[in-house]
Chains A and B, each alone.
Chain A
Amino acid sequence: MWNYEKKLQYPVTIKNPNPKLAQLIITQLGGPDGELGASLRYLNQRYTMPDDKVKGLLTDIGTEELAHVEMISAIVYQLTRNMSLEEIQKSGFDAYFVDHTTAVYPIAASGSPFTATYFQSKGDSITDLVENLAAEQKARTTYDNILRFADDPDVRDPIKFLRAREIVHFQRFGEGLRIVQESMASKNFYATNPQFDK
């Protein structure tokens, strides 16, 4: 189960609207390497993960990703406040606006809606943990790309925080992979799948 804490993990305080930038950053909510996919990936994978420490890691990182979903949503929300119709049209936000007005909806920067095909829960410890390592790097690259287009320090600050978290999670998943491999046949990690073969 989960309980809500009425706070953000890291402050988001954006003074100036920027619907153009919001359309790029929303990809970290509903895009292929976004926070929603990250959270669902880890929280779904954890049930069959054999090692208790790695179950904890998937639970705790999956939970932190929910806090990142909220931060990205707060950034998108704050970047799309107080806009004139002219600003909406000029920035290209008009296509999103006709579908969702200024509500937050999980889509990629390219406009595709969120889909569970963005992640796997494969039921093999090595496969899943290697997917997670790649996922953290893909999210880090996405944040690097967002930072190329974001000049506003109010936006850059929380984005840089989120970027740094991807690197920490990559480190921890690397340790999770090591823990799992140490419990397996060292001559051939692929001799058995610890989530199915007994």
Chain B
Amino acid sequence: MNKESMMQVIQMYDFYLEELQLYLDTHPGCRNALDMFSKYQDLRKAAYEAYAANFGPIVLSQTDTSHHFNWVDGPWPWERSTD
């Protein structure tokens, strides 16, 4: 998968999780939503790790410290476009 497709998968999982998070705020005992939240947390974690391994960190903790602080490498999110 290329960078854009991998990012879209991450945005998709994060969207499921955002929706579930807000729903669970007002329905904290919903078993079905809790199970879905747990499932997508696992899928998100795997997708984040795969993305960071190929294209650099999304969160600071994924930064490579071997020789260069790749957190600062572009493009930044608002530039991720047709350039």
Contacts and interface: CB of A to CB of B under 8 A. Distances in A.
B18 A64 contact: yes
A175 interface: yes
A4 B76 CA distance: 12
Given A168-B19, A175-B26, A78 B78 contact: yes
A172 B15 contact: no
B22 A61 contact: yes
Contacts of B11: 7-11
Contacts of A9: 11, 14-15, 18
Interface residues of A, number: 31
Given A5-B59, A6-B57, A70 B25 contact: no
A92 interface: no
Contact of B77 (A7, A54, A175, A176): A7
A88 interface: no
Contacts of B32: none
Contacts of B18: 9, 64
Given A6-B77, A7-B58, A179 B26 contact: yes
Contacts of A78: 78, 81
A42 to B, nearest CB: 12
Contact of B10 (A7, A64, A73, A179): A7
B80 A8 contact: yes
A21 interface: no
Give the secondary structure class of A's interface: helix
Contacts of B10: 7
A8 B71 CA distance: 16
Nearest to B10: A7
Q: Which interface residue of A7, A11, A12, A179 has the most chain B CB atoms within 10 A?
A: A7
A151 B19 CA distance: 28
Interface in B1-39: 4, 7-8, 10-11, 14-15, 18-19, 21-23, 25-28
19 contacts: A7-B7, A7-B58, A7-B77, A9-B15, A10-B15, A11-B7, A53-B26, A53-B28, A57-B22, A57-B25, A57-B26, A70-B77, A73-B78, A74-B78, A78-B81, A172-B23, A172-B25, A175-B27, A176-B26
**What are the 10 tightest A-B residue pairs by CB atom distance, in nearest-first order?**
A74-B78, A175-B26, A57-B25, A56-B25, A13-B81, A8-B77, A172-B22, A6-B58, A15-B82, A7-B77
Interface of A: 3-15, 53-54, 56-57, 60-61, 64, 70, 73-74, 77-78, 168-169, 172, 175-176, 179
